[in-house]
Amino acid sequence: MANHKLGRTTEDIRRELTDIFRTLKDPRVTSCFLSIVRVEVTNDLSYCTVYVSALEGMDKAKGAVKGLKSAAGYIRRELGHRLRLRHVPELIFTPTDSIEYSAEISRILHSLDIKPDTEEGEDEEDNA
């Protein structure tokens, strides 16, 4: 039962962090398309690791993480007001390049020249 509650709390934290990120005024955060990839919360709710990625690449994600770390107190206070948690976890922001990586895979797949397969029914008619 505790695992279910932890999962619910993790999703609530992710949802609220997404909303809080939109209210930040730091140019390091607002100058890029920032996305929360994953949120991991420890069992005792003392630490919360937030993996963020920028569409512009890893360098922009690292810059955004610096901005998020400087605003961590504000973000933590807002999170506490919105979720009404007894103990608001300490936020640890970690940059990741998963959006850039997935965009590169998508570009590679679209660049392949693969012809669509014909349907089996059409092949049988041609052979008869």
Domains (ranges, CATH) in the chain? 2-112 (3.30.300.20)
Q: Which residues of the chain have pLDDT under 50?
A: 1
> Which pLDDT score, from 0 to 100, does residue 1 have?
44
CA–chain centroid gap for 67, Å, is: 16
> Which pLDDT score, from 0 to 100, does residue 92 have?
95
> Which pLDDT score, from 0 to 100, does residue 114 have?
74
Name 29's Cβ contacts closer than 8 Å, sequence gap at least 6.
21, 64, 67, 68, 71
